[in-house]
Amino acid sequence: MKFLKLYGNIQKTDKWVEVKVKHSVSWYKKHRLFHSKSKLTELKREKRSLFRKYLSATNAEKKMIRDKMHAVDEKINEEIVKRHIHARRYQSDLKQYYRHIHVTRPISMVINLILWGLLFWFGGVSTVLKIIILIFALVSTAGSLLELTFLMRVKSRILLPVEELTNSVDEIAKGNYNVEVKAERSSEINSLIAAFNGMAQKLKEDERIQTEYENNRKALIANISHDLKTPMTSIEGYIEALLDRNDLSDAKKAKYLKIISDNTDYMNHLIDDLFLFSKLDMQKLELNFKTVSVRPFLWDMIEELNLDFEERGVSMRYRDDLQGNCQANLDGRRFHQIIRNLTENAIKYGPKTGLSIDVRLYGGEKEFHIDISDNGPGIPPEKLPHIFERFYRVDSERTKDFSGTGLGLAIAKELVEAHSGTISVISEEGCGTCFTLSFPTAAPKRSEDIK
């Protein structure tokens, strides 16, 4: 009976230590929160008092009271933040459990061992009783060690990763998406960590896209303003000259009117291109796809372009290496615009005389390709990756001859992708540039479909 009574006292002592530790933590937490709450109440009372004074104050006094109210508001905000931090710090179940693992359990184990030792030495003289006490002591100690090992394992495999997730969520809430929780060991919450990391990466990518979109929007507005301001200024200047000067000859008047007309055409072309590009960018451009035979379709288009280029002194050669007579789903008008934009780009930057444009059609079974090459000056390697950007011009001086708006290649790329195709470019300075277009072919119509 004496042994059982002492064993019961050991268990009570163990519970007493655990309760005392928890009570101390709880008292400290309540004391800090009460102190923070009372200070916050005092600041709010002070603000109400200042507000009553403000209602009856003179204009000179109101400015001073406003400044005091702003200062009190800042103190209230600081106190709310401190209160939130203390609440998170001292109300965190994870941190209380850490204290239980690191403090409460080791202390209770030490007290257990001390009481078992006292019971062993002073609990009686019987050898059998001492052996029984020793067995109970070993079993109790082994159980406590197993419990502590289990708790430490729970801490390392679950609690620490959860704490890292909590801190990472706080960082994301602050706008920092460059966070990643590392799963260094096999854990029960690895799937949760993987899902969180995936979400963080998605948010980071969305932020990058949003930032890129904002930068592009600002650049677009700046470029539109620049490209419209130049011809508008020119038009304004020539109109003033025509109105104010009576000594202008008919030849000069005709020249000025021609310049005004060119500037007007340029602005209309720019607005049309912007309207088209905005529709492509928002994927709101309606395309009228039709299944056509590629070989005769492209041949007719080249013949039409060749008539225009001959009048402008440009040599155009066409080579047909297509295998079979494949078909494709194309919008004839927009496909014509793709080829026109690429050839006009070659004319714009090519030599004034001796320019040659070569077009080659090849491929066949699953996709067909079109090469459009020229013998122009070529594009510098550092500028080649940017040529499909909006308003990008290879000439850094941004000189204009009103033959292009800086949107031609960007529109061509969007139209190619709208046809489920791809566009690539290679260039060598002094030799020329070659654009390659690739489009998927359409399945040939069966005789049943034709009937």
DSSP 103-128: IIHHHHHHHHHHHHHHHHHHS-S-HH
Question: What's the burial of 139, exposed, middle or buried (CB within 10 Å: 0-12/13-18/19+)?
Answer: exposed
- Looking at the structure, tell me whether residues 28 and 92 fall in a common domain: yes
Q: What is the mean pLDDT of residues 26-36?
A: 48
- Looking at the structure, tell me whether residues 97 and 181 fall in a common domain: yes
CATH of residue 245: 1.10.287.130
Q: What's the pLDDT score for residue 410?
A: 85
- Looking at the structure, tell me whether residues 296 and 253 fall in a common domain: no
Among 177, 203, 229, where does a domain finish?
203
Give the tens place of pLDDT for each residue, 67-86.
888 888 888 777 766 665 55
- Residue 260: give the domain boundaries: 208-281
Q: What's the pLDDT score for residue 192?
A: 80
- Looking at the structure, tell me whether residues 157 and 13 fall in a common domain: yes
Q: What are the two backbone dihedrals, phi and then psi, of residue 365, each rounded to the nearest 5 degrees?
A: -70, -60
- Looking at the structure, tell me whether residues 217 and 197 fall in a common domain: no
Among 259, 281, 303, where does a domain finish?
281
Q: What's the pLDDT score for residue 74?
A: 81
Mean pLDDT of the chain: 76
Would the pLDDT of 305 be above 50? yes
- Looking at the structure, tell me whether residues 32 and 115 fall in a common domain: yes
Bigger pLDDT: 291 vs 365: 291
- Looking at the structure, tell me whether residues 7 and 150 fall in a common domain: yes
Bigger pLDDT: 324 vs 12: 324
- Looking at the structure, tell me whether residues 220 and 119 fall in a common domain: no
How many Å apart are CA 397 and CA 390, to the nearest integer?
Answer: 16
Would the pLDDT of 310 be above 90? no
Among 203, 227, 242, where does a domain finish?
203
Give the tens place of pLDDT for each residue, 364-414.
778 999 999 999 888 888 888 888 877 666 665 544 444 556 678 888 998
Determine the 3-state secondary structure of 287 from DSSP: coil
- Looking at the structure, tell me whether residues 183 and 141 fall in a common domain: yes
CATH of residue 438: 3.30.565.10
Q: How many domains does the chain have?
A: 3
Our measurement of the distance from residue 385's CA atom to the centroid of its chain's CA atoms, rounded to an integer in Å, reads: 21
The structure tokens 């006009």 sit at 344
- Looking at the structure, tell me whether residues 169 and 216 fall in a common domain: no
- Looking at the structure, tell me whether residues 342 and 220 fall in a common domain: no
- Looking at the structure, tell me whether residues 41 and 179 fall in a common domain: yes
Beta bridge partners of 363: 322, 368
Q: What is the mean pLDDT of residues 181-189?
A: 68
